[in-house]
Amino acid sequence: MKKILLSPYTKLVKEHHDMWKTLRKKGVIKIPLPLYRALYIYKKWLAKKLTVRAHKKTGRFLSLHIDTYTACNRKCNFCFNHDRFPSKKQGIMSEAMWIRIIDELADMGYTGKLSPYYYGEPLLDKRLHRLIAYAKKRLPLCFIQINTNGDLLTEERLLELIRSGIDMLKVTDYGNMGIPKDTPKSKISEQSKRLKYLAEKYPLYIYLRSWKEINLMNRAGAIFKRNNPRKNESCQRPSCQLIIDWEGNVILCCNDYYSDYKLGNITEDSIINIWHTPQLQKYREALESGKREAIKLCAGCDCIGILDKNYVLW
């Protein structure tokens, strides 16, 4: 017990000493730091335990993506936002729908990972801190994470998000990827410096990587074709991860960019009913037994089907 609790606590205190002091000074943390840090570790431990237990007992999802804002300011060449792909219907999820989803999750006691983004750039959404604050209030144990290109990330915005209850920003430095060719080099290097500065100052909240470090997937065969090593591999994504698009459709997987595989809509049925719908169950059975070819979307997909527990559960 001592080993499990003390080791992450020591890391949290020692390695992030300056960050804690800054957050306390800026009024982001209002209670004494030792108490805050102890609560932080305890909540993470509890959330993980409850999430895994619910998944094992009822087959409930471990993580979910909610597409709150579809647009992105970049057009990376390994992403559906690139010009070579037909654009899909763009939109913004209404706050009423967001509240409805969060309330439903709170009613079922959801404690897993919550990701309010999909193929858009979440920092373009000016409501983001408000959406996160509501989610954190109703789902205090959930781990809330966004992935972002960091183009709009300033220290002020970051502190606003931390105050709202965000747990992690996975920031990818895309350099000159997907932006106009005439963008000055100085602007790109300033951006990299800013992201590095923020990641070093707030190490617990920012995980920074370069786009070159992305383990690129072919997004169900759409982004690039290659000799598919995972053709007959089991895929458990639809058994672990729930995806809701901006119009409230529950879709098969995070590679279903165009929402072709709609399993239900949250304005017409409960999330949990849709999660257990027979059609989705049929897909799961095929995919778990490695029959990717049985589903058109999945036939050419090279995505790793067994989700890394650390990815799913922070």
| DSSP code, position 225 | -
Binds ligand SF4 (CB under 6 A): choice among 139, 250, 303, 307: 303
Site membership for ligand SF4, residue 167 (CB under 6 A):
no
Site membership for ligand SAM, residue 195 (CB under 6 A):
no
Residue recorded with tokens 């650390």: 310
Which alpha helices (DSSP H) does 202-300 contain, by range?
237-240, 271-275, 278-288
Site membership for ligand SF4, residue 75 (CB under 6 A):
yes
Which alpha helices (DSSP H) does the chain contain, by range?
2-15, 17-25, 33-58, 95-107, 128-138, 155-164, 185-201, 237-240, 271-275, 278-288, 309-312
Site membership for ligand SAM, residue 119 (CB under 6 A):
yes
Site membership for ligand SF4, residue 150 (CB under 6 A):
no
**CB-wise, 101 or 297, nearer to ligand SF4?**
297
Cα(303)–Cα(293) distance, integer angstroms: 14
Number of H helices, E strands in the chain: 11, 8
Site membership for ligand SAM, residue 147 (CB under 6 A):
yes
Minimum gap (Å) between residue 250 Cβ and ligand SAM:
19
Sign of CA dihedral 312, 109, 127, 30: negative
Beta bridge partners, 98, equal none
Site membership for ligand SF4, residue 170 (CB under 6 A):
no
Binds ligand SF4 (CB under 6 A): choice among 178, 239, 249, 313: 178
27, amino acid identity: G
Distances (CA, A) of 6 to 13, 28, 97: 10, 24, 41
Minimum gap (Å) between residue 123 Cβ and ligand SF4:
10
Quick note: the x/- pattern for ligand SF4 over 83-112, rule CB under 6 A, is ------------------------------
Q: Do residues 249 and 214 touch, judged by C-beta distance below 8 A?
A: no
Minimum gap (Å) between residue 151 Cβ and ligand SAM:
9
Instruction: Pick the stretch among 113-121, 127-135, 182-190, 292-300 that binds ligand SAM (CB under 6 A).
Output: 113-121
Site membership for ligand SAM, residue 241 (CB under 6 A):
no
Of how many residues is the chain composed? 314
Size of the site for ligand SF4 (CB under 6 A): 25
Site membership for ligand SF4, residue 220 (CB under 6 A):
yes
Q: Which two tokens stand for residue 120?
A: 């858009």
Distances (CA, A) of 163 to 113, 147, 184, 202, 294: 18, 18, 33, 13, 46
Cα(224)–Cα(215) distance, integer angstroms: 13
Residue 298 site contact among ligand SF4, ligand SAM, none (CB < 5 to 8 Å, cut-off depends on kind):
ligand SF4
Site membership for ligand SAM, residue 214 (CB under 6 A):
yes
Site membership for ligand SAM, residue 302 (CB under 6 A):
no
**CB-wise, 214 or 306, nearer to ligand SAM?**
214
Find, among 213, 215, 151, the residue nearest to 187 by Cα.
Answer: 151
Site membership for ligand SF4, residue 74 (CB under 6 A):
yes
Site membership for ligand SF4, residue 201 (CB under 6 A):
no
Residue numbers of the site for ligand SAM (CB under 6 A)?
A: 72, 78-79, 117, 119, 121, 147-149, 170, 172, 214, 216-217, 219, 223
Residue numbers of the site for ligand SF4 (CB under 6 A)?
A: 72, 74-76, 79, 81, 119, 121, 149, 174, 178, 220, 235, 237-238, 252-253, 255, 287, 292, 297-298, 301, 303, 305
